[in-house]
Structure 1
Amino acid sequence: MGDLTSVIVWYLSNNTLSNNISQRRVNNWLKMHSLRLQYSRLNLYRNTFSLLEKYVKPSIASCCSNFSTELPSFNESDQFKAAVLHPKKQNLTVETLVLPDTAADGMVRVGVDYCAVNGIDVKCIYQDINTVTLPFIPGSEFSGEILEVGPNCKRQFQIGDKVAVLGLKHVGGGLSHQCFVPETECIHVDPRLSQKDAATIIQGYSNSLLAFTKYAPIKEGDDVVIFAGPGGDGLAAIDIAHNILKANVYVVFASASIDALVRDESAHKAINCNVGLTKVYNYFKNTLASKQFKAVFDTYDSKILHVIADFISPNGYILTEDPFFSPETFEAPYFKKDTGKKSKKKKPTLEEIEEPENIDWTERVKKVDITKYQTTEPEFYEQIVNQAFELHATEKINPFVSQVWNLREVNKAIQFVNLKKCLGKVLIDTRRKKASLEGKQIA
């Protein structure tokens, strides 16, 4: 049919006889021909549909009746978005996931409001990726609301309670709309605090209180060193040591961007570690006249501990937040006073070290991690965290938030921290419409 139409149109357009045929008759003929084709197709579709109705549909119904399991149906409350780290990738992918039906024993479901991007998250992504099981959802410090309480929970959490969460053992981390966490990692938030404040305070200030009141108790006038990196924990340590405990604080900071803020926090003296570890060593040896410190607290990178270990007082302590640091294997090197070289221009390097004598570092080096008390001494854990909340509620401390990003911009936020551009905490706003979150409590 189509070929015949083409021949007729070609003939009429090229033959001289076409001049005697009206254009209207040609158009009418083409319209009628098109209608005939459409009618033929319609009949074919009707016949096919009739065959499907008669033979195929009964067969499908018969097959389906043999299955005892129904296909799952998901509604909006079953789904959530999360930033997921996959193998062989250094960027997180924001994906829509489906939660399990209910919380397991001792677990609660938390709708996340704000999640902090900490050094541990950056290290998991860029350096120590082998320490986590992929795919992985980062986020170890966040605030939110209880949406579901699993069976055998003993902490008396109720649906709707505002909580702060700190830990590394979640089934799904805080960079998501919601996740399941052990109830031991949750603590009620002081109603005087906002959710943003809770996500900013719980780790840095709690660890600082633990460091300077339990592990290395300091008093007014003591000299301490704090290694402050991006992310806010260093500023929290300065805040506690100087403004609360009235110690003299000397700061080694990891980024020029936090220099002014460190000094504003009343640090006694400060030096940027980017000048090189040798210069940092010489700064403490010469500029500070080999001052003896009651404590050195690392909140960013434990490599600095080997440099400052020479300046710890006989009853002083070395403390670190580095989760991958091992106090048992710590050997504190120090620089030789005489390198044995005749040239006076050559400066000592980190390789030119010798082992100090008669120093037992196993009792003086401690890893600061408030989460270790969540299960072993839960009352002490709550005491330390609530003390940090109380200090903020009474305006005795001032946590600093550098920037707040939304979940879609999570990779920008992580890069922001990795490049050491942040002065304080970096938060991800993960809030979603609460109407879509169905709370439930299981007896």
Structure 2
Amino acid sequence: ILIDVHYCALNASDLLLSQNLHTFKPKLPMILGYEVVGKLIEVGTEAEKNGYKIGDKVIALNKERYGGLAEKCLAEVGDIWKVPSTKLVNSADLASILDSYITALVALERKVNLNENDMILINVGISGIGLAAVDLATNVFKAKVIGVCATENCANQAREMGAFAAFKYKDKKLIKQIKEIAAERDIKAIFEDEDGASFKKMLSCFTDIYKATLKDMLRNDSFAVVVHHLSREGRVVIAGTTTTMADVSDVQKGSFSITGFNLMEYKKKKPDVYRQAGDDILQFLEEGLIAPSYSLIAGMHKVNDVLESISENMFPGKVIIDMRDKEAAITKMVT
């Protein structure tokens, strides 16, 4: 299918690719941008069989083709979804939803099996996926969320999404803060004796990201690593941005397990689950259960200024590029 692009999300990976800093090495030349909202202007045979027609408004998650920062974008039928009929969500919001929310949903649902009233510690950092995980865990799974963030603005946003606790990361205070919150639910075992040492070691896999450069924090391809602990008081789950771990054998002993998750690899293995997750996310959106957000919106001709702003500031969430109003000024959406 061919899409007349209205909005395109600008992700951290786009910034890293533009500076040749990403671990993924693309075949050049390439057009950046892989989250797209627009209307279909050409429809192939397979798309027709699946009920798509010219004029349909769609969202594309084009992580294999990219090409979203252009007036027209080619995509595969398996990577597009029809825009929900709800009038409560605008097109710019839709451009920021699929990648982060599908990743968070599949990781929480398939890798952890998150349950109502589980306590989940989400290491948000500055990640859009982390904020999506907060939104889903709180408002869909009905879990108790603690958010750890790189900035106070990000922590505020996590609280607005429903996290019952969220704070800016402070190394010496983190364990104490988590203990105080866990104590309210009579969870103590994970902090005691050998388990306590193991918990701290596992936690460091996540919090070491705060010692990295902004460039490394932006690289959210190592996000969806999940750790969970079973204790006599209940279950605690840790999810979020992590540092890269070459050998985790010494931290997998006992009641912990650690699982890496990559959405594109998962899509190859279980395409039906990938498609269903996208359908579920859009259904949650129609029902008003989740509320995607973004940090900035700007016209296409401001894209270089936007890239510079991302590299200099730690914005929570994503940036949206308006492909129609190309001269639109940069507008900050999150305070």
Q: For 1:244-323, list aligned pairs within 5 A.
A: 244-273=140-169, 275-276=170-171, 280=174, 284=178, 292=190, 301=220, 312-313=229-230, 319=239
Counterpart selection for 2:84 from 165, 190, 203: 190
What's the secondary structure of 2:307's corresponding residue? Answer: helix
List aligned pairs for 1:143-292, cutoff 5 A.
143-150=37-44, 153=47, 155-170=50-65, 172-192=66-86, 193-230=89-126, 232-273=128-169, 275-276=170-171, 280=174, 284=178, 292=190
1:66 match: none
- Number of residue pairs aligned between Structure 1 and Structure 2: 294
Q: Structure 1: any 5+ residue segments left out of the alignment?
A: 1-107, 333-354, 434-443
Partner AA of 2:56 in structure 1: D
Shift of 1:224: 0.7
Q: Who is 1:57 aligned against?
A: none
- Correspondences of 1:96-135 after superposition (within 5 Å): 108-126=1-19, 127-128=21-22, 131-135=25-29
Specify whether residues 286 and 238 from structure 1 end up closer, same or farther in structure 2 by C-alpha distance, changes over 3 A only. Answer: closer
- The answer on whether the counterparts of 2:40 and 2:56 sit within 8 Å (CA) in structure 1 is yes
3-state SS of paired residue (2:29): coil
Q: 1:360 to 1:148 in 2, by over 3 A?
A: farther
Distance in 1, Cα, partners of 2:69 & 2:223? 30
Q: After superposition, what is the alpha-carbon deviation per residue over 1:378-435, rounded to whole angstroms, capped at 9, x for unaligned?
A: 44333221221122222222222322111111122223333344343320011379xx
Partners of 1:256 and 1:237 lie apart in 2 by: 18
Partners of 1:386 and 1:287 in 2: how far apart? 34
Question: 1:140 corresponds to which letter in structure 2?
Answer: Y
Partner of 1:413: 306
Q: Which residue of 2 is the match for residue 67 of structure 1?
A: none
Matched, 1:141 2:35: yes
Name the CA distance, whole Å, in 1 between partners of 2:17 and 2:275.
Answer: 27
TM-score (norm. length: structure 2): 0.72
Q: 1:207 to 1:302 in 2, by over 3 A?
A: closer
Q: Secondary structure of the equivalent of 1:224?
A: strand
Question: What secondary structure is seen at the aligned counterpart in 2 of 1:136?
Answer: coil
Name the CA distance, whole Å, in 2 between partners of 1:388 and 1:356. Answer: 33
Q: Are the equivalent residues in 2 in contact too, given 1:114–1:430 (CA < 8 A)?
A: yes
Shift of 1:166: 0.9
Alignment of 1:307-346 (within 5 A): 312-313=229-230, 319=239, 329-331=246-248
Structure 2: segments with no counterpart, 5+ residues: 192-198, 207-216, 327-335
Report the Cα distance in structure 2 between the residues aligned to 1:303 and 1:372, rounded to whole angstroms: 13
Name the CA shift for 1:223/1:251 in 2 (closer, same or farther; >3 Å): same
Give the superposition deviation at 1:241. Answer: 0.8
Sort the Cα spacing of 1:223 and 1:118 in 2 relative to 1 into closer, same or farther, 3 A: same
Separation in 1 of the partners of 2:25 and 2:175? 32
The sequence identity of aligned pairs, in percent, is: 25
Assess, with a 3 A threshold, how the Cα gap between structure 1 residues 185 and 124 changes in structure 2: closer, same or farther.
Answer: same
Partner Cα distance (2:306, 2:30) in 1 = 17
Q: 1:217 to 1:136 in 2, by over 3 A?
A: same
1:267-309: per-residue Cα shift (whole Å, max 9, x none)?
2333323x44x65466557886767499999796588999x96
Is 1:393 matched with 2:286?
yes
C-alpha contact (below 8 Å) 2:147/2:155 kept by paired residues: no
For 1:424 and 1:304, how far apart are their aligned partners in 2? 14
> CA offsets, 1:189-238, max 9 Å, x none?
22225422321221222222212222211222211111213353322211
For residues 142 and 45 of structure 2, what CA distance do their matches in structure 1 show?
A: 46
Of structures 1 and 2, the one scoring higher in RCO (CA 8 A, sep 6+) is 2
SS of 1:413 mapped into structure 2: helix
Query: Which residues in structure 2 correspond to 1:69-108 (within 5 Å)?
Result: 108=1
Change (3 A) 1:195 1:263: closer
Quick one: distance in 1 between partners of 2:28 and 2:113?
Answer: 40
1:318 Cα offset (Å): 5.9
* Alignment pair present for 1:358 and 2:275: no
Query: Structure 1 residues 113 and 133, CA, compared in 2 at 3 Å: closer, same or farther?
Result: same
Residue 159 of structure 1, CA deviation: 1.6
Q: Is the 8 A contact 2:100 2:128 kept in 1?
A: yes
> How high is the TM-score relative to the length of structure 1?
0.56
Maintained 8 Å contact 2:125/2:241: no
Partner of 2:332: none
Q: CA RMSD in A?
A: 3.9
